[in-house]
């Protein structure tokens, strides 16, 4: 999966870092498919690079209550905090908001005969999951993510 920013000549993008509370320019992570396969587990590769999904209730983070920052398992970008995580009952980790709109991007996903909004990592274009309009207030959003594409950096 190519990052569309790659074709525009963009080499770096602004991303928010939770630990510093600042926006920093970070280089895009652009690897070949062979490099991604070598770097990721088979499940991570299937989900992140081929837009797969893990089975409901099978991911390591769907029920965790540990405190920390959920980062992209492919590139380390901060994506969500445990403070925004909630139990949606769907079997996937769900969050009401990302750490910053800079750190994710969305696009229409018309696969599987449905129309959904896909969530991708801004830095490496990894498929993370989908966002729905049935989350809790105040955002009303449910960012339904795959554990395979997340890495929890514990802070508590």
Enzyme catalytic residues: 144
Rounded to whole angstroms, the Cα distance separating 108 from 66 reads 31
* Chain-centroid distance, C-alpha 19: 18
Q: Give bridge partners of residue 71 from the DSSP assignment.
A: 78, 151
- Residues contacting 35, CB < 8 A, separation 6+: none
Share in percent of the chain as helix, strand, coil (round to 5): 20, 35, 50
**Interatomic CA distance for residues 143 and 118, integer angstroms:** 10
3-state secondary structure of 156: coil
């Amino acid at each position: 999966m190519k990052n569309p920013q790659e074709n525009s000549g963009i080499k770096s993008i602004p991303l928010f870092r939770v630990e510093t509370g600042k926006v920093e320019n970070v280089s895009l992570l652009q690897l070949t498919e062979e490099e991604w396969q070598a770097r990721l587990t088979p499940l991570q590769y299937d989900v992140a690079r081929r837009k797969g999904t893990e089975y409901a209730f099978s991911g390591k983070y769907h029920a965790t209550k540990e405190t920390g920052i959920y980062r992209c398992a492919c590139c380390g970008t901060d994506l969500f905090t445990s403070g925004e995580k909630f139990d949606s009952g769907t079997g996937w980790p769900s969050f009401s908001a990302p750490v910053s709109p800079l750190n994710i991007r969305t696009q229409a996903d018309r696969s599987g005969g449905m129309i959904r909004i896909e969530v991708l990592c801004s830095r490496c274009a990894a498929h993370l999951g989908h966002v729905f309009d049935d989350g809790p207030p105040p955002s009303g959003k449910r960012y339904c993510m795959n554990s395979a594409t997340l890495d929890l950096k514990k802070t508590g």
